[in-house]
């Protein structure tokens, strides 16, 4: 029996890092964030982040501010980005099998493929989750994980 994990889609490093970058910007909402600060906080190389930023800028998800005090900021409020939007920009299709990558399934086995039903159910479940959760939701989750500052002396 083959590995069950091999059946299911894995989000690439690019997708995971794009999500972490966007989350970092969401946590610093209305602030201009320097690339090197995000890279340090997220433990991601600046070179790799630059590649990811290029993709996120092209689709209009982030804005670049040039000059002293420059950096990056979200183009819209965090609640307007779903995790699915971000992952699809970096990963492409989130379909678990190639025959579901396009609107029309052109696989010659389609009419007689019993496994297709399973893949469609899985794909719908993936989309339901990533399209329901927003960047604002994730920012709240992150804040729940961070202990509040204790100012007692």
Domains of the chain: 4-145 (1.10.10.10)
Q: How confident is the model at residue 146 (pLDDT cuts 50, 70, 90)?
A: confident
Q: Which of 16, 134, 133, 143 is nearest to 74 (CA)?
A: 134
Tell me the CA distances in angstroms from 49 to 15, 33, 139, one per residue in order.
11, 13, 19
pLDDT > 70 fraction of the chain, expressed in percent and rounded: 90
The 10s digit of each residue's pLDDT in 48-73 is: 999 999 999 999 999 999 988 899 99
Give dist(CA 28, CA 132) in Å, integer.
22
Per the confidence metrics, is the pTM higher than 0.75? yes
| Neighbour-count burial for 126-138, b at 16+ CB within 10 Å, e otherwise | beeebeeebbeeb
Q: Which of 103, 101, 95 is nearest to 122 (CA)?
A: 95
- 108 and 118 in contact (C-beta within 8 Å)? no
What lies within 8 Å, CB to CB, of 89 at 6+ separation is 18, 55, 56, 59, 61
The phi-psi region of residue 148 (left if phi > 0; otherwise alpha if psi is between -120 and 50; otherwise beta) is beta
| Per-chain mean pLDDT for the chain | 88
């Amino acid at each position: 029996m083959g590995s069950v994990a091999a059946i299911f889609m894995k989000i690439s490093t690019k997708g995971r890092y794009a999500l972490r970058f966007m989350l970092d910007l969401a946590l610093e909402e209305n602030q201009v964030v320097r690339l090197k600060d995000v890279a340090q906080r997220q433990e991601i190389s600046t070179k790799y982040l630059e590649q990811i930023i290029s993709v996120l800028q092209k689709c209009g998800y982030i804005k670049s501010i040039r000059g002293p005090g420059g950096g990056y900021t979200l183009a819209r409020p965090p609640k307007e980005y779903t995790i699915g939007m971000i992952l699809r920009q970096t990963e492409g299709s989130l379909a678990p099998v190639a025959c579901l990558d396009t609107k029309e399934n052109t696989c010659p086995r389609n009419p007689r493929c019993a496994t297709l039903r399973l893949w469609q159910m899985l794909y719908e479940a993936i989309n339901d989750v990533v399209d329901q959760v927003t960047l604002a939701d994730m920012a709240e989750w992150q804040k729940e994980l961070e202990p509040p500052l204790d100012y007692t002396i």
